[in-house]
C-alpha cells in the first residue's frame, strides 16, 4: 500500500445506544455517498473519510438481526427495574449487553482502502483486542466458529470478554466490538449472551481483581489498531 489510510478517532463518552447508532448511520451513509460520487466523477475525487468512535452506553440489551428474542430472559418490567432498555439493531450477531465500564468501539471504514475481506476484518478487530489484553497479561484467544474474544477456550472455564457484531454495505463497515473493562457483569445474568449458553462472561477488572483505567485501554487499543490495520489515527 503506497500510503496509509487516515482514521479519525472520536471519544464520545457516555452516549445512548440510539444516539450512537444514529451518528454511525450518518457517517456510514456519508462514506457510501462519497464512494459513489468518486466512482461517478473520476475528475472530482475526495479522499474517503474513515472513523473510529469510542463510546460507553447506559445499560441496554441489543439484539442483532439474526438473533433470537428468547435469549432475553426477562420481561420489559424487569428491564425497567434494572434501569436497562432493549433495542433491536441491524448488526449481525445475537443478543448482548452494553453498559458503563464497557469499551464500545465503532469503526466506520471503507474496506476498499484496506482490504475487501469481511472475515479478515473481523479477525483483525479480534487481534486488536487480543493484543490490548496481552498488555495487561490477560491471555485471550478466539473460539472456533464464534466471533469475539475469549479466555480459556479449551479449559475448564471458557469465558467471553469481548463481543462483536458488524454491518457492511459496499465494503463500508459499522457497529463493531464491546470489550468488558469494568462492566457490571450481573446484567449478563438476564440473557443468554450471543445465544451461547455454555460459556460465562468476564471483564478485565474481574480477571485482574481491580478496576482498570479506561483511557489507558483506549490508548493501547489505538496503538494496536494503527499497527494491525496499517492506518494513521488522528
Note if 162 is an active site residue: no
Angle between helices 214-228 and 118-134 (to 10 degrees): 130
Range scoring the smallest mean pLDDT among 25-39, 83-97, 129-143, 170-184? 83-97
Model confidence at 197, pLDDT cuts 50, 70, 90, reads: low
Across 24-38, 74-88, 203-217, least confident range: 74-88
Tell whether 234 is covered by a domain.
Answer: no
φ, ψ at 62 (rounded to 5°): -120, 140
Q: Considering the chain, what percentage of its residues have pLDDT values greater than 90?
A: 71
CA distances from 211 to 157, 207, 208 (A): 22, 10, 8
* Residue-averaged pLDDT of the chain: 92
Per residue in 207-226, pLDDT (tens digit) is: 999 999 999 999 999 999 99
Flag the least confident range among 51-60, 89-98, 161-170: 89-98
Give residue 181's pLDDT.
Answer: 98
**Does residue 193 belong to any structural domain of this protein?**
yes
Domain assignment present for 157:
yes
Q: With 0.85 as the threshold, say if the pTM is over it.
A: yes
**Segment 129-150, tens digit of pLDDT:** 999 999 999 999 999 988 899 9
C-alpha span between 59 and 141 (Å, rounded): 27
Active-site entry in 113, 128, 162, 194: 194
What was the pLDDT predicted at 1?
A: 44
The per-residue pLDDT for 77 is: 84
Number of domains observed in the structure of the chain: 1
Determine, yes or no, domain membership for 120: yes
Residue 222 CB contacts under 8 Å (≥ 6 apart), including other chains: 9, 52, 233
Residue 87 domain boundaries: 6-228
Task: Determine contact, residues 113/4, Cβ cutoff 8 Å.
Answer: no
- CA torsion angle 214 220 225 230 (round to 10): 150
Is 126 part of a structural domain of the chain? yes
CATH number of the structural domain spanning residue 89: 3.30.930.10
Model confidence pLDDT, tens digit, residues 41-73: 988 888 889 999 999 999 999 988 877 878 788
- Residue 233 in any domain: the answer is no
Amino acid at each position: 500500500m503506497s500510503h496509509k489510510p487516515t482514521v479519525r478517532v472520536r471519544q464520545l463518552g457516555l452516549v445512548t445506544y440510539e444516539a450512537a447508532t444514529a451518528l454511525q448511520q450518518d457517517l456510514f451513509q456519508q462514506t457510501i455517498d462519497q464512494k459513489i460520487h468518486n466512482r461517478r466523477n473520476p475528475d472530482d475525487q475526495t479522499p474517503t473519510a474513515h472513523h473510529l468512535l469510542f463510546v460507553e452506553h447506559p445499560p441496554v440489551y441489543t439484539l442483532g438481526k439474526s438473533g433470537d428474542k428468547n435469549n432475553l430472559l426477562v420481561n420489559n418490567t424487569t428491564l425497567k427495574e434494572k434501569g436497562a432498555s432493549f433495542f433491536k439493531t441491524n448488526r449481525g450477531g445475537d443478543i448482548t449487553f452494553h453498559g458503563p465500564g464497557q469499551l464500545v468501539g465503532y469503526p466506520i471504514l471503507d474496506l476498499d482502502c484496506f482490504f475487501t475481506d469481511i472475515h479478515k476484518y473481523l479477525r483483525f478487530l479480534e487481534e486488536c483486542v487480543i493484543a490490548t489484553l496481552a498488555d495487561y497479561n490477560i491471555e485471550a484467544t478466539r473460539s472456533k466458529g464464534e466471533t469475539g474474544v475469549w479466555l480459556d477456550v479449551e479449559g475448564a472455564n471458557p469465558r467471553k470478554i469481548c463481543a462483536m457484531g458488524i454491518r457492511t454495505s459496499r465494503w463500508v463497515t459499522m457497529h463493531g466490538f464491546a470489550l468488558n473493562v469494568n462492566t457490571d457483569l450481573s446484567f449478563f445474568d438476564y440473557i443468554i449472551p450471543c445465544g451461547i449458553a455454555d460459556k460465562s462472561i468476564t471483564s478485565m477488572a474481574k480477571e485482574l481483581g481491580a478496576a482498570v483505567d479506561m483511557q489507558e485501554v483506549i490508548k493501547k487499543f489505538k496503538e494496536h489498531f494503527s499497527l494491525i490495520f496499517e492506518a494513521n489515527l488522528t
